[in-house]
């Protein structure tokens, strides 16, 4: 075993132990040649891609190289099982059946950040008395009914029942309750009119 090869493998293992997986992968790949001794490195690379990088495509490549160089090696049975699992993972991600697509994940992340920002802003605002907290009510006679039936909300441009539900209940699922409370006012649940006032139960 050449000293350079041994040094690269040693460095890769210490980087992996420190959690620097990309550097470990680069070092392992630098140590590769096509000799059978590299089967073990292909195996380690495949595991890094699989477990740490969540990259079944590259993991499969290295599992296959392992089997080519060491068809009856100590890990060959494990490798065959891992390959089946990775092929399924790849097939689902390519066919779009993955639970959450990348764009959906990004959208959800942004939504979470926005919600967190709104919550932080809300907690920073000074606590006002209930009288001040209520927006100016042009219909004082409705105030009494508001107390018993819920709040009123003026529809903003671009609002939907789902977005209003999210605004008041922190969940999009209660839009039906808002619709039920406003059956007489809402002609088309898909198209709310900006400026109309809705009761929020």
Task: Tell me if 118 is assigned to some domain.
Answer: no
- Among residues 48, 65, 95, the one where a domain terminates is 95
- Among residues 95, 122, 145, the one where a domain terminates is 95
Task: Tell me if 60 is assigned to some domain.
Answer: yes
Q: How far apart are CA 136 and CA 152, in angstroms?
A: 12
Same-domain check for residues 91 and 138 = no
Q: What is the pLDDT of residue 170?
A: 81
Q: What is the DSSP string of 13-73?
A: HHHHHHT-HHHHHHHHHHH--SSGGGHHHHHHHHHIIIIIS--HHHHHHHHHHHHHH-TTS
Q: Are 194 and 156 in contact (CB under 8 A)?
A: yes
Number of C-beta neighbours around residue 88 at 10 A: 11
Q: Over the chain (201 residues), what is each successive 10-residue block's mean pLDDT?
A: 87 95 95 90 95 90 95 94 89 63 66 75 66 53 50 87 85 85 85 88 89
Q: Is pTM beyond 0.75 here?
A: no
3-state secondary structure of 83: helix
Same-domain check for residues 140 and 193 = yes
Q: For residue 164, give the CATH number of its domain.
A: 3.10.350.10
Task: Tell me if 182 is assigned to some domain.
Answer: yes
> Range of 162's domain?
134-200
Task: Tell me if 59 is assigned to some domain.
Answer: yes
Total number of domains in the chain:
2
- Among residues 95, 117, 145, the one where a domain terminates is 95
Q: What is the pLDDT of residue 54?
A: 86
Q: What is the pLDDT of residue 157?
A: 84
Q: Are 185 and 179 in contact (CB under 8 A)?
A: no
Task: Tell me if 193 is assigned to some domain.
Answer: yes
Q: What is the pLDDT of residue 143?
A: 46
Q: What is the pLDDT of residue 187?
A: 83
Q: Are 175 and 127 in contact (CB under 8 A)?
A: no
Task: Tell me if 71 is assigned to some domain.
Answer: yes
Task: Tell me if 173 is assigned to some domain.
Answer: yes
Q: How far apart are CA 146 and CA 63, in angstroms?
A: 66
Same-domain check for residues 86 and 139 = no
Task: Tell me if 157 is assigned to some domain.
Answer: yes
Q: Are 17 and 49 in contact (CB under 8 A)?
A: no
């Amino acid at each position: 075993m050449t000293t350079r090869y041994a040094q690269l493998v040693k460095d890769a293992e210490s980087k992996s132990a420190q959690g620097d997986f990309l550097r470990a992968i680069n070092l392992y790949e630098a140590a590769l040649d096509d000799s059978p001794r590299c089967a073990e490195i292909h195996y380690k690379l495949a595991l890094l891609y699989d477990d740490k990088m969540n990259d079944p495509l590259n993991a499969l490549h290295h599992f296959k190289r392992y089997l080519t160089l060491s068809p009856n090696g100590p890990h060959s049975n494990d490798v065959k099982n891992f390959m089946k699992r990775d092929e399924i993972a790849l097939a689902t991600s390519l066919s779009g059946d993955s639970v959450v697509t990348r764009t959906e994940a990004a959208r959800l992340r942004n939504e979470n950040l926005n919600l967190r920002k709104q919550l932080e802003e809300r907690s920073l605002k000074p606590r006002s008395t209930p009288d001040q907290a209520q927006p100016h009510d042009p219909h004082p006679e409705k105030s009494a009914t508001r107390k018993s039936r819920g709040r009123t909300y003026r529809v903003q441009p671009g609002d939907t029942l789902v977005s209003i539900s999210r605004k008041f209940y922190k969940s999009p699922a209660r839009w039906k309750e808002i619709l039920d409370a406003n059956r007489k006012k809402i002609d088309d649940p898909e198209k709310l009119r900006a400026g109309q006032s809705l009761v929020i139960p």
